[in-house]
C-alpha cells in the first residue's frame, strides 16, 4: 500500500515525532511531503531511506507550492494520504480536493472555524495512538550520583509552557546552584524566551537547538520536565519514560493518561512553578526515588505503548481509508 504523509513542518512538534516513529515501524511504501522548509528531522528520514519532499512554503501566497503538491500526488499516486494537522489539510484541499476521500487526518483540531469544520467532515479523522520505540541499550536511571540536570524538550510555543520552566528553574537553581536546565526545541517563542533568560542573567540555562533525535539529550537528563499549559507534550513524556527518566509533567488530560502520579512520575498543576520546583527538589534530594520512578515509568510504557501495536492500528485505518 502506498502511503503519502503530508505535514506542515518537520520540526520538534509531536506529530512530526509520531510520523518518524511510523516510518521506522511500518513496511508500507512510504513517502513524506513537508509543506515547510528542510529540517534536520527531514534529513534524518532521508538517511533512513524514506523519500522526503519539501515544498519550501515561506510566502503567504505561493502558487508554485500548490502546483508542486499536485505534481507529487500525480507521481506518487498514493492509496492513502495521511495528513498531519489542519494547515496541511487546507493546502491539500486547495491543491487537489479530489483526494479528500482518501485522507486520514490526525493531530489537534481545536476551536474550528466553519470552513475548517466543513473540511474536517470530508475526511477520516483519527487521534494518533501513543507509541514509542524501545531500546534495550538505554540506561535505566542515573543511579546514586549527584543529579542536577533537567531537560525540557518541546516546541517553543505558548502551549508547551517553556516560559514557566525558566521561571521554575530560577527557583531550583537558587536551591541547587550546580543544577542546569537544557531546553531542546524551536518555535515562535524562541526570541521572547531568550530575552527573558537575558533579564534573569542565569547562565545555567542552555538552548540546545532542535535535534532530529532527542534520545541523547533525554539520556543526559536526571529529571525531565513537561510543563505544558495546553493539552500537549505526551510524545516527549513517553520517550523520556521509555528511557527510564523521572518525569515531572503538568496535570493535563494527555499527560494524565500516561503518568500515574507518584508511581511512574509526578503531576503538578499547569503553570504552577512553585509546585514544579518542589517536586524537582524532592527528586534531586533522593536518588532512590528518581530511580524508582524511572524504572516504573519504563516498565509501564513498555507494557502499554509498544510501537508494533500502534503500527498495526494505523495499518487497519489505512486499509479502511483505501477501501
pLDDT digits (tens, 9 = 90+) for 140-183: 444 444 558 999 999 999 999 999 999 999 999 999 999 999 99
Instruction: Give which of 141, 143, 144, 94 is closest to 119, Cα–Cα.
Output: 94
Count of CB atoms situated within 10 Å of the CB of 57: 20
Query: d(Cα 193, Cα 196) in Å, to the nearest integer?
Result: 5
Of 232, 154, 146, nearest in space to 188 by CA: 154
Q: Cβ-count burial of 116 within 10 angstroms (0-12 exposed, 13-18 middle, 19+ buried)?
A: middle
How far is it, in rounded angstroms, from Cα 3 to Cα 30? 5
CATH 3.40.50.2000 segments of the chain: 2-131+306-322, 149-304
- pTM of the shown model: 0.84
At 134, the pLDDT band (50, 70, 90 cuts) reads low
138 vs 150, higher pLDDT: 150
What's the CATH superfamily of 2-131+306-322?
Answer: Glycogen Phosphorylase B; (3.40.50.2000)
How far is the CA of 53 from the CAs of 14, 90, 155, 211, in angstroms?
A: 20, 18, 22, 19
Are 107 and 123 a contacting pair, CB within 8 Å? no
Q: What residues contact residue 291 under an 8 Å CB cut-off, 6+ apart?
A: 140, 141, 142, 143, 246
Query: In terms of DSSP H, where are the helices of the chain?
Result: 14-25, 40-47, 63-76, 86-96, 114-121, 162-175, 190-200, 215-219, 234-242, 253-256, 273-284, 287-304, 307-322
Give residue 115's pLDDT. Answer: 87
Q: Is 107 helix (H, G, I), strand (E, B) or coil?
A: coil
CATH architecture of 149-304: 3-Layer(aba) Sandwich (3.40)
Work out the average pLDDT over 109-128: 83
pLDDT, residue 246, reads 96
pLDDT at 135 (0 to 100): 54
CA distances from 217 to 223, 228, 239, 285 (A): 11, 19, 11, 22
* pLDDT recorded at residue 141: 44
Q: How far is it, in rounded angstroms, from Cα 129 to Cα 164?
A: 28
pLDDT digits (tens, 9 = 90+) for 51-82: 999 999 877 778 999 999 999 999 999 999 99
Residues 261-319 pLDDT 10s: 999 999 999 999 999 999 999 999 999 999 999 999 999 998 888 888 888 888 888 99
Q: Do residues 55 and 33 lie in contact, with contact meaning Cβ atoms separated by under 8 Å? A: yes
Element (H or E) spanning 33, and its range? strand 29-34
Distance CA 82, CA 249 (A): 30
Q: What tens digit of pLDDT does each residue of 240-254 get?
A: 999 999 999 999 999
Half-sphere exposure of 137 (CA within 13 A, CB side): 2
Rounded to an integer, what distance in angstroms lies between the CA atom of residue 125 and that of residue 104?
6
pLDDT at 323: 81
pLDDT tens digits, residue range 120-133? 899 988 876 677 76
Amino acid at each position: 500500500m502506498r502511503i503519502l504523509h503530508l505535514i506542515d513542518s518537520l520540526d520538534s512538534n509531536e506529530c512530526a515525532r509520531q510520523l518518524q516513529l511510523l516510518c521506522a515501524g511500518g513496511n508500507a511504501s512510504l513517502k513524506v511531503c513537508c509543506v515547510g522548509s528542510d529540517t534536520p528531522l527531514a534529513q534524518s528520514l532521508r538517511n533512513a531511506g524514506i523519500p522526503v519532499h519539501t515544498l519550501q512554503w515561506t510566502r503567504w501566497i505561493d502558487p508554485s507550492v500548490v502546483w508542486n503538491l499536485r505534481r507529487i500526488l500525480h507521481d506518487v499516486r498514493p492509496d492513502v494520504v495521511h495528513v498531519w494537522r489542519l494547515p496541511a489539510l487546507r493546502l491539500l484541499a486547495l491543491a487537489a480536493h479530489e483526494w479528500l476521500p482518501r485522507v486520514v487526518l490526525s493531530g489537534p483540531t481545536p476551536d474550528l472555524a466553519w470552513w475548517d469544520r466543513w473540511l474536517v467532515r470530508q475526511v477520516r479523522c483519527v487521534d494518533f495512538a501513543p507509541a514509542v520505540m524501545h531500546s534495550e541499550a538505554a540506561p535505566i536511571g542515573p543511579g546514586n550520583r549527584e543529579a542536577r540536570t533537567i531537560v525540557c524538550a518541546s516546541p517553543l510555543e505558548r502551549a508547551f509552557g517553556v516560559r514557566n520552566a525558566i521561571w521554575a528553574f530560577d527557583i531550583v537553581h537558587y536551591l541547587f546552584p550546580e543544577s542546569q536546565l537544557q531546553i531542546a526545541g524551536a518555535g515562535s517563542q524562541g526570541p521572547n524566551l531568550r530575552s527573558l533568560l537575558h533579564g534573569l542573567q542565569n547562565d545555567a540555562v542552555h538552548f540546545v537547538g532542535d535535534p532530529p533525535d532527542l534520545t541523547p539529550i533525554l539520556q543526559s537528563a536526571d529529571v525531565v520536565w513537561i510543563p505544558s499549559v495546553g493539552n500537549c507534550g505526551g510524545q516527549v513524556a513517553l520517550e523520556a519514560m521509555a528511557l527510564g527518566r523521572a518525569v515531572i509533567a503538568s496535570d493535563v488530560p494527555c499527560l494524565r493518561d500516561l503518568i500515574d502520579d507518584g508511581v511512574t512520575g509526578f503531576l503538578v498543576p499547569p503553570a504552577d512553578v512553585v509546585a514544579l520546583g518542589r517536586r524537582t527538589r524532592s527528586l534531586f534530594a533522593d536518588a532512590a526515588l528518581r530511580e524508582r520512578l524511572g524504572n516504573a515509568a519504563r516498565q509501564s510504557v513498555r507494557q502499554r505503548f509498544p510501537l508494533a501495536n500502534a503500527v498495526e492500528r494505523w495499518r487497519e485505518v489505512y486499509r479502511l481509508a483505501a477501501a
